[in-house]
Structure 1
């Protein structure tokens, strides 16, 4: 059994799935309403932020996803009391934080990359931190050098060991001037979580400014932090001696919302995503409209539907916020297989995010991946090292196939393809999807999808 298989089974078990294999009976439009809750990319970081307080925190809008269970286990291993008795709400009490044993950290972390963000809070609380080898979705190297360089700049001593990384800061952290080579979301979160209690002022240049980053800043400000977001991707953090707990409702998951929108387009369906908001999806909505999808912004969500007729090809360039998110391109590619003409998707954020297209081609799609990218005079996003491009020619009818989920977003894209395809597909390793999509089987049922949970060997 591979590590991916093991991760899938663990993720499935964490959210109560009895198997990590599905049989999807496709060819039926998805119709109905589903709800999205807090963003995976905010909730897990907000849970870590609770470590910084000297009193309990309350986080609302928490989704039932595997990654939340991973962080819950890591927090509990460090002595944080986590009360999850109320659905969608976490009470986090960090008043008895202790150093966790390597085996406990490793057992809970699995392939998650979340442990790297524990470093700053643990250095403030304990003077040391340990993180095991990091995993995560296999979509590129995603090096942690940005994180480690930032921690060194703030005064941490970093020691790389055979089984992980040990960090110490016996004299505490000190503010610094830091400039990221790329506006990395994870590295920006690292600096925020590490600098808020450092002595002095930290200036972070070339910072990420995603909505989830802004929501994390809002949480830290509630805790007592002093953080200024200035023009040109500059964030200034004035360190404070202590922080208190917070009460916060997480921003909605715009990646999940966009994924269901793409599913409506690919299956010829009509899906209302409750909890979705226009402001954080404006770039996605523009592309959705160019392709030929329709949407209606409601008071409590957004309705997405296929209006009939042919879809139009588009050119997409992924980019950091406020650009088109890399997490949006994978589900959108499935819809583009049904567009009338040639679409080009330039992936500029991760260097290996088109691996999911192999399965789509097996299902009848016509997608050619250019591993060195494609230059174009119409490009708006500057070319970047290791970027790739996918040329999607459509429309191509999709047919059933046996597919193994490779990563979170690619896995949901395979799910969409199977729902749009003619015939019955078997999708294995769907536990990976449970890392970031709350109760996705229940939501499929609400939308009228036909599927069966089957044994992995079936």
Structure 2
């Protein structure tokens, strides 16, 4: 994005159509998976977002040739000339992304070594890489911590192992999958994440020649193979972006058709959307989300791993809940510091209290640990314009939606971070009739 600050004049409902493409949380991992193949891979429905540009740069630094296909959003990834990359190149391309940690398994298989710079990402809670490193050690990797980062090596072929996750972490599950598929022997992963993006990554790896079984009790077994081929795959749609636009329709009293969204992966969100009072229509090519034209209802939400209510869904929805008549409760159980974005909403006139106690149906792992992870939202509140700074990806989208639903002109800075996960964000706002201007 050329501009990093926008001025938004609120009060206009968002009406129109937007299209969502491949999920940010799948596409970037699918690109990394191409490193494992001996032949080129073709990935379709790739969005033009900054996280994709980061991974494209990292793959290029490691010798992967990437070209655009004939179809819009199609990438062809050729890993035939994979090579080690210099620390400086990795640092230059990685930026604040945490993706480099997932390069380790594939690079250890292809080159026998890998490097990781200091890792960043949205500041929404603790995302330690120590568990990733411990898992890689179990596979047989040697880990050396250097002043500039971490070097990993594999003098011998990595071997299968047994891993039990203390929490169904998506990142840790991806790490095991990308490492185990070419390790010698069988790997058993207990307590695995089973999000739709994880299942789509498994689909990709199976297309490449992997042998992976998923049990009903969150146990995944991977039988290592000697060789994997390239894949051809159309990425799963981005259900996080779809839910964000749905929440925007509620908050601005609008009507938005989200092309590319599908019911199966959004069932839990759709139930909550309906409880709030929102109206949706399932169509063959997408889902229409609209405000009911009557007061919204308060709800109690508890975020959880799949098939629960996604943590990435709660932030945009909180803005809509400030418009509901009554008291809503959101209990965040996935990330311990995800309510930093509500400070700006309070400044804009929202009545939100954040608590350390678990206000959900049961105590979570953050209880009694001094993390403010439960929010009480009282409404309806008439939001007013303010000058606010975007804190993270989903919080940033939420701030923009709050400004669109507020009275007056708001100045929102650091909006560039939104490009990490929302393709053509400003163009989509324009298509929906948003009233805003970009600062040069």
- 1:442 corresponding residue in structure 2: 427
- 1:12 corresponding residue in structure 2: none
Residue 145 of structure 1 deviates from its aligned partner by 2.0
Aligned with 1:321 (options 306, 313, 317) = 306
- 2:64 corresponding residue in structure 1: 80
**1:229 is the counterpart of 2:229:** no
* TM-score normalised by length of structure 1: 0.94
- 2:77 corresponding residue in structure 1: 92
Contiguous gaps of at least 5 residues in structure 2: none
Contact 1:319 1:381 in 2 (8 A): no
Query: 2-side partners of 1:235 and 1:426: how far apart?
Result: 47
Aligned with 1:267 (options 246, 252, 259) = 252
Farther-moved stretch of structure 1 (62-71 vs 161-170): 161-170
Residue 84 of structure 1 deviates from its aligned partner by 2.4
Query: 2-side partners of 1:25 and 1:70: how far apart?
Result: 32
Contact 1:175 1:201 in 2 (8 A): yes
- 1:47 corresponding residue in structure 2: 31
* TM-score normalised by length of structure 2: 0.98
Query: 2-side partners of 1:404 and 1:84: how far apart?
Result: 35
Contact 1:63 1:438 in 2 (8 A): yes
Residue 373 of structure 1 deviates from its aligned partner by 2.7
Residue 326 of structure 1 deviates from its aligned partner by 0.3
- Report the 3-state secondary structure (helix = DSSP H, G, I; strand = E; otherwise coil) of the residue aligned with 1:236: strand
Matches within 5 A, 1:12-411: 17-84=1-68, 86=70, 87-370=72-355, 372-375=356-359, 379=361, 382-385=364-367, 386=369, 388-411=373-396
Query: 2-side partners of 1:421 and 1:149: how far apart?
Result: 47
Query: 2-side partners of 1:373 and 1:41: how far apart?
Result: 30
Contact 1:317 1:381 in 2 (8 A): no
Residue 148 of structure 1 deviates from its aligned partner by 1.2
Residue 85 of structure 1 deviates from its aligned partner by 5.5
- Report the 3-state secondary structure (helix = DSSP H, G, I; strand = E; otherwise coil) of the residue aligned with 1:141: coil
Contiguous gaps of at least 5 residues in structure 1: 1-16
- Report the 3-state secondary structure (helix = DSSP H, G, I; strand = E; otherwise coil) of the residue aligned with 2:187: strand
- Report the 3-state secondary structure (helix = DSSP H, G, I; strand = E; otherwise coil) of the residue aligned with 2:397: helix
- Report the 3-state secondary structure (helix = DSSP H, G, I; strand = E; otherwise coil) of the residue aligned with 1:448: coil
- Report the 3-state secondary structure (helix = DSSP H, G, I; strand = E; otherwise coil) of the residue aligned with 2:289: strand
Give the root-mean-square deviation of aligned CA atoms.
1.1
1:197-217 per-residue CA deviation (whole Å, 9 max, x = no partner) reads 000000000000000000000
Query: 2-side partners of 1:310 and 1:106: how far apart?
Result: 50
Query: 1-side partners of 2:406 and 2:93: how far apart?
Result: 37
Farther-moved stretch of structure 1 (146-155 vs 26-35): 146-155
Aligned length: 436
Query: 1-side partners of 2:77 and 2:436: how far apart?
Result: 37
- 1:6 corresponding residue in structure 2: none
Query: 1-side partners of 2:159 and 2:95: how far apart?
Result: 31
Query: 2-side partners of 1:27 and 1:424: how far apart?
Result: 10
Contact 2:331 2:359 in 1 (8 A): no
1:144-165 per-residue CA deviation (whole Å, 9 max, x = no partner) reads 1221121111111111222211
